[in-house]
Structures are given as C-alpha cells and as structure tokens.
C-alpha cells in the first residue's frame, strides 16, 4: 500500500486519537459519536447506492431493527452486549436477504418504492408490537456496551469504540472495493448486461451487496442504541432513511469518504443552524439544494476539484514542473447516470 | 474448413418478438479455431442470434451446443463461465470505472476471491489480485489501450471503448468470442488494425463469431460466412462463395 494513498486515513486515525485524549466537552463528544455512527451506516448504503447503483429508501429500517434486536436481547433476556450485537447484525442480514430477494427484481423507481414500503412495514410493526417493542413509547434502560471487564461507560470511551469500528470497517470496505467482488458490484452500476456477460451473477451480486449494506446499518443501529440507552420507532423511520440517502449523495456517491463527509455535514449543519431558529429548515434545505446544483458529485468531488485546482496552480507557478503527463481524472467515480 | 470440428452448433433456433419472427429455424455451425462471420441487412436477426447464444434471450425452439454440451436456456453468466464471451453492438463499458478495472472485471469468471477473503486481504487474494492486474495490463497492451489504463472508461472515444470491450471479453478466457459489429464507428485505419487484432486472437486458438456490416473486413478475415435475411439463414460458404452467390447479391450485397 502506498503511503500517499493512505494519508487521509492516517490523518483520521491521528485525529481520532487526539480527540479521544483532548476533547472533554460532552456536547462535542456526543456529536462526534453520532457522526461516527451515521458514517458507518452511510458507508454501507454507499456500497449499495454509490458503488452498485441500487437505491434503497428502507435502510433506516435496518438501522432500527439492529437497534431493537440488541435492545430487546439485552434488556429482556439479559444477553451480553457483544452477543446481542452479533445476533442483531446476523438477524438483520437474514431479514435483508428475505426482503432483497423479491425487491431487487425491481429497478429504479420501483425498487425505491419497494424498499420504502418495507421501511413503512417495519415502522408500523415496531409501533404495533407493544409487548415486544414497547410500542410508540419504545424501550428504555438499555445497558452501555461492555466486553468482559471493559465498559464503554464514558463518552470518551464510547467515542473511541465507535471510531475504531468505523476505521476498521473503512479498511475492510476499501479492500472489498479494490478487489474481485468490489469490482463486480461496481460493474452492476455501469451495465447490468455487460456485468452478466463478464460472468457476474447479477441477481446474486445485487442481493449480496444489499445484505452487506444492511449489515452496516444494523451495526450502526446497535452502536446507537447502546449509546442513547433508549429506542423508539422514530429511530428508523422514513425520514431517517431519506436522511441516510441524503448523506451519501451530499458526501459523494461511489466515494468511500463520501459517507463520512455527508454524515458529518448533515449532523453538524442542523446544530449550527439552530441559531437561526424558525428559519433553520429553510436554510438547511437551501444549502442542500445549492450543493446538489453546484457539486453534483458531492463533497468528495468538490474537495478533489479544489485540491486539483490548488495543485494545478502550484505547478503553474513553478515553471518547468513536471506533471508526469497523467491524464487521470481526479475523481474517477461519478454520480449515477 | 468443413473438415474442422464444430465448437458451436446452432440447430433450428427460432425466436419471436410478438408477431415478429426475428429468427426462424436458424442453423449455423462454427468451426473450432475459425473466424465465422454472420452478415445480413439491418433487422436480419444478427444481434438476436448473439443474444440467444450468450444467454440474454431464451429461444422459442432449437438448441445450442458449445463444445458438445447443450447450453440452451442457461443464464448469461453461466455461459461466460462455460467459455463463450461477447461484446455489444452499442458499447457497454463500465463507465465510472477505469479502463484497467474494466478488464479486471473481465477476469471475474476465472477467479474466486469472495467477500471475506477480499475484505481481509488474505495472502492468496493479494496474489490473485496481482495476477489479474498483470493479465489485464497485458490485454490492454494487446488491443492498444495500454496508455489509457487509468482513464475512466466513459471518457475514452467510442472506438477505444469497442477495443476495451474486446479486451474485457478476452479476460474471461473464452473459447468462443462473439463480436457484435466491432468495426462500427471505426475509421479505415482503425478497422484495418481491428482486422489484425482479430486474426491475432484467432491465432491464439480462440474461435470468433463476427457480426459485421463492413464487408471489406468480413471478406478479408473470415473463414466462413453465414448470411441471415429476415431471420432465416439463406446462405453459407467461404468469402469467395458468398461473393459469387446470386442469392446473396440479390438480397444483401445488391442492396447497398
Ligand atoms: N427485444 C426486442 N423486442 C422486440 N423486437 C425486437 C427485439 N430485439 C430485436 N427485435 C426485432 O427483431 C428484428 C431483428 O433485430 P436484430 O437486432 O437482431 O437485427 P440485426 O440483424 O442485429 O440488425 P442491425 O444490423 O441493425 O443491428 C428486428 O426487426 C428488431 O426490431
Ligand atoms: Mg444488431
């Protein structure tokens, strides 16, 4: 692995370590924890949406299901957190498989509607199954994450756990993207026909990436529920599903960093805009609209363009600087057609 | 050529689209190691034939044999794994991926790395990845696209995209390569180079079934030619025989 390619990751690891040591403000820590949790969920959704080109408006439901299963197992059955988390993710994978099997036969708008309907069904079920889920009032008193003697009982510790999970998943995801299965799922985005002609089992690959992305959402839901210690059906409603999609689009579809940037933007922005009180939603919407119009490739593309422009200026200033004649597009992956 | 063994045997294939008979009882035998061309006017059913052969369409009747095994009705990805690869009449590259990655996707059918192995970068996976990269580079060099390896596939000219499709199909190590109008949109010089490339591919032991409108190219490089008209196979023979056939001249060559 080239060091240069890893600079952003190294910076992230360093920032996480520094933040864990230096930041004590609970408000900021909480916000960083939420960003990490959403970034995990959106990394998975980005695999589906940005890389494989398949829409889902039901991923909030996988997040909620992960949260609920872990909550129920720990509060009702006294299961240890790690076992509950593992079971929650496994169960959500099974559900995603069962949902994906019929849904992924659909394309475009129909797939969006199918996954939307699934999300609604889960939302209604969580409200209605009062005995199991506590209904609209949800489940409270969920224990904090712990493994043996180690307990994530402080915000600083929880922060560290969430971000270590993110970094580990980031590396694993990047490995997948730059390998046979990762290329196969990106091929789906380019042309399903050509993917089939290359020996890729198109239906199987779609289902695989759908289940995989649901697993990320479920894991994020688990991390969420053991931090907030409370969950209600609102956790994974349609608004949250749409917010996840917005995070991916705003951050940059088909860019691994896109999910994180989008999650950070959409978590921090509403907080900052609360200063404007009644007008916050208006400004929020305006900013998102402007981003879609002027930065269709999301933040990652915007940043890549910016750094490309800066580099170009630097080379222009130094006469005789060798550019190496590379014709590489600074942002190889564009948004969905 | 008739003494050669058949690698693909198309027997009595029919395909209807509603009331339209796109293919009617078509039978063509493709000799192993040959370049067999399929020609015919627009709408004759050539692309439909390729779609049926490659598993993108199910024929209404008839059978297709590859290497003696019946493959009719099998899925497209399974047929590729069995050794028959194709290109598309309208180039279908993976636009947002790099040119090199496109060819690496072509290796999918001949490699095994799964999700877990890929995520953990196991040593075997690394080795496979290196091999795939090397092979893809080799194929790009062969079709003359080595210099564009890191460009996005969507950003290269359409003629180059057609060559990329050929490299990508070759990456699946096919025994038979189905080409749907690879010369469309190429200039004379590019077409000549394409002809050399196809002869080169044949020399490597790969059988080619070529659908093409460029008669000069077809007559230059084909061992055998089959002529389709309104979904029927109306003639077959060597380029010389086809050029001399009054039937063919009447329905096809005379038309232009
Ligand atoms: N999916 C389809 N549905 C309905 N009709 C179709 C379909 N595909 C092809 N056809 C029709 O079948 C006939 C044969 O089409 P095909 O594409 O095989 O012709 P072709 O020989 O490849 O022509 P060209 O030289 O123009 O590429 C045409 O009349 C076409 O309109
Ligand atoms: Mg055609």
CA A173 to chain centre: 12
Instruction: Tell me: pLDDT of B255 over 60.
Output: no
**What residues are paired with B8 via a beta bridge?**
B30, B66
Q: Which residues of B touch A202 (CB under 8 A)?
A: 77
3-state secondary structure of B4: coil
Domain end residue (candidates: B173, B204, B238):
B173
Q: How many CB atoms lie within 10 A of CB A204?
A: 12
Would A295 be classed as within a structural domain? Answer: no
- Quote the minimal CA–CA distance from B244 to chain A in Å: 36
Would A134 be classed as within a structural domain? Answer: yes
Q: How many CB atoms lie within 10 A of CB B227?
A: 23
Give the residues surrounding ligand 1 with Cβ less than 6 Å away.
Answer: B 17, 20, 22, 40, 42-48, 89
Q: How far is the CA of A8 from the centre of ligand 1 (A)?
A: 50
* Each residue's pLDDT tens digit, B28-55: 999 999 999 999 999 999 999 999 999 9
Same-domain check for residues B238 and B180: yes
Q: How many CA atoms lie within 13 A of A163 on its CB side?
A: 23
Q: What is the CATH number of the domain that holds B79?
A: 3.40.50.300
Q: Work out whether strand B224-229 and strand B35-39 pair parallel, antiparallel, or are unpaired.
A: parallel
Range of the domain at A37: 27-190+200-236
Q: Which residues of B touch A197 (CB under 8 A)?
A: 54, 56, 76-77, 80, 85-86, 88, 169
pLDDT at A269: 87
Quote the CA–CA distance of B74 and B9 in Å, as a whole number.
Answer: 15
Same-domain check for residues B180 and B167: no
3-state secondary structure of A290: helix
* Each residue's pLDDT tens digit, A40-83: 999 999 999 999 999 999 999 999 999 999 999 999 999 999 99
Same-domain check for residues B221 and B251: yes
Same-domain check for residues B71 and B102: no
Range of the domain at B141: 92-173
Same-domain check for residues B191 and B129: no
Same-domain check for residues B74 and B1: yes
DSSP letter for each residue of A212-250: HHHHHHHHHHHHHHHHHSEE-GGGGSHHHHHHHHHHHHH
CB B233 within 8 A of CB B227: yes
Instruction: Tell me: pLDDT of A334 over 70.
Output: no
* Each residue's pLDDT tens digit, B163-177: 999 999 999 999 999
Q: Which of A138-152, B56-70, B83-97, B208-222 has the lowest mean pLDDT?
A: A138-152
The verdict on a CB contact (< 8 Å) between B113 and A200 is: no
Domain end residue (candidates: B173, B205, B240):
B173
Q: How far apart are the first and last CA of chain B?
A: 29
From the list A193, A196, A198, which residue is nearest B168 (CB)?
A198
Q: Which run of H or E residues covers position B21?
A: strand B20-31
Would A18 be classed as within a structural domain? Answer: no
Our count of domains for chain A comes to: 1
| ipTM value | 0.93
Same-domain check for residues B71 and B5: yes
Would A269 be classed as within a structural domain? Answer: no
DSSP letter for each residue of A9-68: HHHHHHHHHHHHHH---HHHHHHHHHHHHHHHHHHHHHIIIIIS----S-HHHHHHHHHH
Closest C-alpha residue for ligand 1 atom 19: B43
Same-domain check for residues B100 and B224: no
pLDDT (mean) for A20-49 = 95
Same-domain check for residues B58 and B107: no
Our count of domains for chain B comes to: 2
Same-domain check for residues B255 and B193: yes
Would A325 be classed as within a structural domain? Answer: no
Q: Please, which residues have CB within 8 angstroms of residue A329's CB and are 6 or more apart in sequence? A: B151, B152, B155
Same-domain check for residues B186 and B232: yes
DSSP letter for each residue of A91-132: HHHHHHHHHHHHHTTS-HHHHHHHHHHHHHHHHHHHHH-HHH
Domain end residue (candidates: B121, B155, B173):
B173
């Amino acid at each position: 692995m080239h060091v240069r390619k890893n600079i952003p990751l190294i910076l992230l690891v360093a920032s996480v370590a520094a933040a864990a040591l230096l930041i004590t403000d609970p408000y900021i820590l909480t916000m960083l924890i939420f960003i990490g949790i959403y970034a995990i969920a959106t990394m998975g959704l980005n695999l589906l949406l940005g890389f494989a080109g398949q829409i889902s408006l039901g991923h909030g439901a996988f997040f909620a299901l992960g949260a609920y299963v872990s909550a129920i197992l720990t509060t009702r059955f006294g299961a240890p957190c790690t076992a509950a988390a593992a079971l929650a993710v496994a169960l959500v994978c099974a559900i995603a498989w069962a949902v994906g099997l019929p849904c992924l036969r659909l394309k475009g708008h129909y797939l969006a509607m199918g996954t939307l309907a699934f999300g609604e069904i889960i939302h209604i079920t969580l409200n209605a199954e009062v005995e199991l889920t506590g209904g609209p009032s949800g489940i409270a008193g969920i224990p904090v994450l712990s493994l043996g003697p180690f307990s994530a009982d402080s915000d600083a510790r929880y922060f560290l756990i969430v971000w270590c999970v993110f970094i580990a998943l980031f590396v694993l995801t990047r490995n997948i993207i730059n390998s046979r299965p990762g290329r196969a799922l990106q091929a789906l985005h380019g042309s399903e026909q050509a993917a089939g002609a290359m020996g890729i089992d198109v239906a199987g690959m779609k289902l695989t990436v759908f289940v995989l992305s649901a697993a990320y959402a479920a894991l994020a839901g688990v991390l969420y529920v053991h931090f907030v210690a409370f969950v209600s059906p609102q956790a994974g409603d349609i608004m949250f599903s749409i917010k996840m999609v917005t995070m991916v689009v705003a951050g940059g579809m088909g860019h691994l960093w896109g999910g994180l940037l989008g999650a950070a933007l959409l978590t921090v922005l509403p907080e900052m805009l609360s200063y404007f009180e009644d007008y916050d939603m208006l400004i929020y919407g305006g900013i998102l609209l402007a981003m879609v119009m002027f930065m269709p490739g999301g933040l990652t593309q915007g940043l890549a363009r910016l750094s490309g422009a800066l580099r170009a200026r630097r080379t222009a200033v130094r006469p005789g600087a060798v550019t190496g004649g590379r014709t590489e597009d600074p942002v190889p992956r564009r948004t969905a057609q | 050529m008739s003494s050669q063994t058949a690698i693909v045997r198309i027997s009595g294939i029919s395909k209807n689209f509603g009331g339209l008979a796109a293919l009617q009882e078509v039978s063509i035998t493709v000799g192993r190691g040959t370049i067999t061309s399929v020609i015919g006017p627009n709408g004759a059913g050539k692309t439909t034939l390729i779609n049926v052969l490659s598993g993108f369409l199910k024929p209404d009747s008839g059978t297709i044999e590859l290497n003696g095994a019946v493959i009719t009705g099998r899925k497209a990805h399974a047929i590729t794994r069995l050794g028959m690869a194709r290109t598309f009449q309208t180039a279908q590259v993976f636009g947002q991926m790099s040119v090199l990655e496109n060819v690496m996707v072509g290796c999918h059918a001949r490699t095994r790395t799964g999700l877990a192995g890929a995520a953990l970068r196991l040593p075997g996976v690394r080795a496979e990845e290196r091999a795939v990269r090397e092979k893809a580079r080799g194929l790009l060099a062969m079709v003359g696209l080595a210099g564009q390896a890191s460009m996005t596939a969507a950003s290269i000219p359409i003629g180059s995209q057609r060559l990329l499709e050929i490299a990508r199909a070759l990456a699946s190590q096919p025994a038979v390569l189905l080409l749907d109008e690879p010369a469309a949109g190429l200039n004379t010089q590019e077409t000549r180079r394409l002809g050399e490339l196809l002869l080169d591919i044949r020399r490597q032991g790969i059988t080619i079934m070529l659908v093409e409108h460029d008669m000069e190219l077809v007559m230059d490089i084909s061992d055998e030619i089959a002529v389709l008209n309104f979904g029927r196979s109306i003639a077959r023979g060597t380029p010389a025989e086809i050029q001399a056939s009054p039937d063919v001249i009447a329905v096809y060559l005379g038309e232009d």
